Structure 1
Amino acid sequence: MAVKEKNSIATQLLNGIERVGNKLPDPFMLFISLAGIIILLSWIISLFDITYTQPVDGQEVAIKSLISKEGLEFILTSMLDNFVGFAPLGLVLAMMLGIGLADKVGLLEIGIKSTILKAPTSLVTYAVIFTGILGNIASDAAFVIVPPLAAMVFYNIGRHPLAGLAAGFAGVGSGFTANFMINGTDVLLSGISTEVMKTLDENVIVTPVDNWYFMIVSVVVLSIVGALVTEKIVEPRLGKYEGNVKKEFEAVKPIEIKALKNAVIASSVYIALILIVLFIPNSPLRSAEGKIVPSPFLDGIVPLILILFIIAGITYGVTIKKITSSRDVGKYMGEAMKDMSGFIVLIFAASQFIAYFDWSNIGSWIAVSGANFLESIGFTGIAVVIGFVLLTAVLNLFIFSGSAQWTLEAPIFLKMFYYLDYHPAFIQVAYRIADSSTNVITPMNPYIIIVLSFMRDYDKKAGIGTLIALMLPYSICFLLTWIILLLLFVFLGIPFGPGIGVYL
């Protein structure tokens, strides 16, 4: 069996992906290298006096060299502004103050545990997938909370534990981008999109709520699909579990349940107050015309959610006595910010890469050329967007970080689709469904090794090929389901977020 697995085409393909991916530098050094490549490339292209015509105003634009007096001046004088002014930086750090506080006091973990453990036996599979998808509120922490907990639940109710682990991993990984709430992913990706679009049209802004409606529907649809894949494909293939590992989960303590209830009550009161203010006559949260789209409410959605998590986190922490003074609040927020240090370092490099790409006009040149080519062959319909989805799904096998991959793709594809009149928020949705779907089968996912160690608690012979084979049905079904859902939204004219359609 081991020989067959080693020699299988699928395993060889995945091994090849792993080898190529391992040769890629760390994301920070990747963007530093790419920035250097853009500097050199801008000089080479400028030697040929290449120009292109801006579709918006018909202006002739030339490629500018970064290896010039003007280019060197830009590199030196813009470096700090590129970093500090990078849209996602402040938004994500602000969100993580609240989410990080809720995480550090234990609110998110207990919320996840309670959802799975309290589910009726017949609905356990649905609860696992559902909780895994919503678990992205806790960011990457969900990868180490949900799968092992789901495996233990399945084991203790007489079902195959690896089916539970697979369901939990699928929900967290392949469903990572979906949620009922606006979260860090929405803030980060929309910030990158806005940063790219402001060089083309300052009136086109992508906000954290622009994909919200689609993601809400995605949670429900993927929970059903994920449960069906588990019960109809994965679990029957695994058969009956014969092991005896005596794995038991730690029950949620009464004080934790009380603290969770108090946090829910406090959050509900806050949300009710926001809704009351939103719907009173002449509400300050509405626009001058009395509209919600656009409005100060949507513009300020990140601060409003930040306050929600702070209220919930403090309430939970005080009840459970993890917060006994005001100093504790700052301490837990500080610990959350420490976890963001890698993100801050990555953003410094990524912001320089995007700035050089824009200033040199290379990104716009590629985008305009690509858009013109697609128009010339008549390939500008929704099929080209599906092609983009499939390309992104393949690229995700080599670059696991969603923000890093979007930083690479957005300067080219957002601009190219903009010239084809597609709304950047719609293209962002297309990116997100592709990026998430293959998270659980890429060897570049650092959590695959952790999940594999959880697998070996129940099956000592399990290997990377075993895990990939277990997760492949989820990746394929999630991607196909999401593409169908995307097409339904397109053809039925359903908005992807408040006021967001397919076209500008």
Structure 2
Amino acid sequence: MTQDAPKPAKRSAIDRFLNIVEKGGNALPHPVTLFAIMAVAVVVLSWIASQFSLAVAHPVSGEEIRPVNLMTVEGLHRIMDGLITNFTGFAPLGTVLVALIGIGVAEHSGLIGAALRLLVLSAPRRLLTFVVVFAGIMSNMAAEIGYVLLVPLSGLIFIAAGRHPILGMAAAFAGVSGGYSANLLLGTIDPLLAGLSQEAARIIDPDYTVNPAANWWFMIASTPLIALLGTVVTEKVVAKRFPAPPESAGDGEQIDRMHPEEKRGLLFAALATLALTALVLLGTVPADGFLRGPDGDLLKSPFLRGVVALIFTYGVVTGIAYGIGARTIRSDADVIRGMSKSMETLATYLVLTFFAAQFVAFFNWTQLGLIFAVEGATFLKAVDLPAVPLFIAFILLTALANLFMGSASAKWALMAPVFVPMFMLLGYSPELTQIGYRIGDSVTNIISPMMSYFALIIAFLQRYEPKAGIGTVVATMLPYSIAFLIGWTVLFTIWMLAGWPIGPDAPLNYIPAG
């Protein structure tokens, strides 16, 4: 006699919702394929649009704008001639490569990992949660280091403090991924998004420049806010679900303390940072500083235009200094190895960039972006939606899109050519639109199965909760997502109403030249 198979456990509403999200996201092609399809679709759409009497007046010159058909002999020639230059001239490409070369030295030498461990290990118990969230926020400037190092490390830290390890990992994950667009420092994502925003802004204004530090002031103000919100959610909400560590937690595991070599390396890196910072201050503080513009202007100076160069320099110099002190760098070959290793991770990005560059170029050539932007702006003006509700709707739209497409750069490459020009025509700067996008993109990272490190987080949780799955992660992280969305939107609203600049040379409003 055979036993009846046990009935499957009834799935909760959130599990059913997540299944829909997961299936929808998995149904999308790879981002590379998506951009290739979009590039072809733009060419076809240009032919369709050219068959109709579509025309708008250019918002600045008043010139009549009509769709440009790329499905012609001339269009084919233009595509063939521009295939290489579209790629090599794509604004984000060079900035990301240069910044990552510098960050690669700091990461390969062990500087970033040692600095994070020191920050977390030295935190007083009463500030432990705040420090973990803060460290997560700061780590996102160095890509995956926060996911692969800080999240599991925080679990061990909380075990040592007599608390549930998942509580520590949740706090770290909230900072690393949910606080992706907050930081006291600039990272590789800043020049990448700024480059995409600049490409989109030039649909309206061919000379418009978006500097990589365009959102810096807002990012700095966001850092303590997100760290505080993450701490409150951890202690008041998530801690109730994980009140005590499991009996098996920590078996055979221990936290590596700082070795003398690492401490010496950090000392060398600190001295190098002080020396570089003193040099930068010498070039920017005096009215005739060598990093200021010809007329002493700091907002339009080599200092701000060279933010990527500064990221590169700090990464290389401090990374080498740490490596010499910690004896992880013994020759120039070790430095080159660190630079090369960071490039190895960019293979997929380079392929993605090639097709993204073609899509953006084709979209610009057809003038469809400008036409859509003018028509969209006309509609929004007719609706007469105030600035705050308009941007809240944009933030929510981005947050929803992030559930199905995890890549921040891929989403912005698709959204920027439409929304940046549209908001410019309504009088809002590309920098303001970009920060609205970044808020929406960040807050749902931690509940999106499409986020590239989501599976890794599940694996970390399963070390302590073997039955943990997608629902476990989302149920744990959803309170952070809601708190971050509300808190960040409130800060954004206050910032807009106060009229504060969101970064150096980054106003809230767009005023056409002339």
Query: TM-score, normalising length from structure 2?
Result: 0.95
Alignment-derived partner of residue 141 in structure 2: 137
SS at the partner of 2:248? coil
Distance in structure 2 (CA, Å) of the matches to 1:278 and 1:201 = 29
C-alpha displacement of 1:370: 0.8
1:111-130 correspondence runs (5 A): 111-130=115-134
Distance in structure 2 (CA, Å) of the matches to 1:388 and 1:243 = 46
SS at the partner of 2:143? helix
C-alpha displacement of 1:414: 0.3
2:249 aligned with 1:230, yes or no? no
Q: 1:374 aligned to 371, 376, 380, which one?
A: 380
Alignment-derived partner of residue 404 in structure 1: 410
Q: Which runs of 5+ in 2 are unaligned?
A: 1-5
Distance in structure 1 (CA, Å) of the matches to 2:246 and 2:334 = 47
C-alpha displacement of 1:203: 3.3
1:358-369 correspondence runs (5 A): 358-369=364-375
Return 406-415 or 33-42, whichever deviates more: 33-42
Alignment-derived partner of residue 37 in structure 1: 41
1:60-459 correspondence runs (5 A): 60-245=64-249, 246=251, 247-459=253-465
C-alpha displacement of 1:122: 0.6
C-alpha displacement of 1:34: 0.7
What count of residue pairs does the alignment treat as equivalent? 503
Q: Is residue 203–residue 421 contact of structure 2 (8 Å, CA) maintained in 1?
A: no
Residues 85/375 of structure 1: CA separation in 2 closer, same or farther (3 Å cut): same
Distance in structure 1 (CA, Å) of the matches to 2:476 and 2:304 = 41
Distance in structure 2 (CA, Å) of the matches to 1:482 and 1:34 = 32
Letter in 2 for 1:164: G
C-alpha displacement of 1:141: 2.7
Distance in structure 2 (CA, Å) of the matches to 1:203 and 1:360 = 19
Distance in structure 1 (CA, Å) of the matches to 2:8 and 2:142 = 39
C-alpha displacement of 1:380: 4.8
Q: Is residue 103–residue 311 contact of structure 2 (8 Å, CA) maintained in 1?
A: no
SS at the partner of 2:105? helix
Residues 3/388 of structure 1: CA separation in 2 closer, same or farther (3 Å cut): farther
Distance in structure 2 (CA, Å) of the matches to 1:3 and 1:71 = 61
Distance in structure 2 (CA, Å) of the matches to 1:146 and 1:90 = 29
SS at the partner of 2:254? coil
Instruction: Calculate the aligned-residue CA RMSD, in Å.
Output: 1.5
Q: Is residue 49–residue 63 contact of structure 1 (8 Å, CA) maintained in 2?
A: no
The one-character-per-residue Cα deviations of 1:357-406 (angstroms, maximum 9, x if unpaired) are 11111111111111100111212522111110000000000010000000
C-alpha displacement of 1:7: 2.6
The one-character-per-residue Cα deviations of 1:37-80 (angstroms, maximum 9, x if unpaired) are 11111111111132222111211111111111221111101111
Distance in structure 1 (CA, Å) of the matches to 2:210 and 2:57 = 25
C-alpha displacement of 1:8: 2.1
Q: Is residue 110–residue 256 contact of structure 1 (8 Å, CA) maintained in 2?
A: yes
C-alpha displacement of 1:9: 2.1
Residues 483/104 of structure 1: CA separation in 2 closer, same or farther (3 Å cut): same
Return 467-476 or 63-72, whichever deviates more: 63-72
SS at the partner of 2:467? coil
C-alpha displacement of 1:239: 2.3
Distance in structure 2 (CA, Å) of the matches to 1:48 and 1:391 = 30
Q: Is residue 263–residue 326 contact of structure 2 (8 Å, CA) maintained in 1?
A: no
Q: Which runs of 5+ in 1 are unaligned?
A: none
Q: Is residue 6–residue 12 contact of structure 1 (8 Å, CA) maintained in 2?
A: no
Alignment-derived partner of residue 14 in structure 2: 10
The one-character-per-residue Cα deviations of 1:250-304 (angstroms, maximum 9, x if unpaired) are 2221211110121011111111111012223522211222221121211112112
Distance in structure 2 (CA, Å) of the matches to 1:289 and 1:128 = 44
4+ residue runs of structure 1 moved beyond 3 angstroms?
2-6
Letter in 1 for 2:214: D
Alignment-derived partner of residue 3 in structure 2: none
Letter in 1 for 2:289: S
Q: Is residue 195–residue 210 contact of structure 2 (8 Å, CA) maintained in 1?
A: yes
Distance in structure 2 (CA, Å) of the matches to 1:334 and 1:400 = 26
* Identity across matched positions, percent: 39
SS at the partner of 1:101? helix
SS at the partner of 1:208? coil
C-alpha displacement of 1:6: 5.0
Return 222-231 or 68-77, whichever deviates more: 68-77
Distance in structure 1 (CA, Å) of the matches to 2:462 and 2:333 = 42
Q: Is residue 374–residue 380 contact of structure 1 (8 Å, CA) maintained in 2?
A: no
2:57 aligned with 1:56, yes or no? no
C-alpha displacement of 1:4: 9.7
C-alpha displacement of 1:197: 1.6
